[in-house]
Amino acid sequence: MTTKPQRRTPAPAGLSTRGKRYWKQTTDTFELTDSETQLLLEVCRTLDQLDVLAAAVAADGPMVRGSQGQPVVHPGLTEARGQRAILHRLIAALRLPDEDGAAVPTGRQIGSVAANAARWAGHRKEA
């Protein structure tokens, strides 16, 4: 991946508004390899799927009737949680730098930081 692409890569067919916007922002800023382009496509599709799920929850409300008529959490909320986890993994796999030049940390990196903080909690010297 390099910055300042030489040519504009059009958004693939089938993307909705949010996916197209993220595709354009990313491809206008970076020149991606073929494998990075495939990851970007999945990121954009996931963003669009999250919008579809959000619209369904907005239309139906956060609680719906279950098979026995009981109130249950909208299945779109559960699916959205999974899609957000996948989105984070995909974006971390792309390793695109932010404004400060740092990439989104992977789940393993986040876990390592938390484990390190827990391990050394209480071991700091008082000045």
Structure-token pair, residue 94: 């792309």
pTM: 0.77
pLDDT of residue 25: 95
Per-residue pLDDT for 13 more than 80?
yes
State the pLDDT at residue 23: 98
Residue 105: per-residue pLDDT: 67
Residue 78 pLDDT greater than 70, yes or no: yes
Mean pLDDT of 83-107: 83
Q: Exposed, middle or buried, 75 (CB in 10 Å: 0-12/13-18/19+)?
A: middle
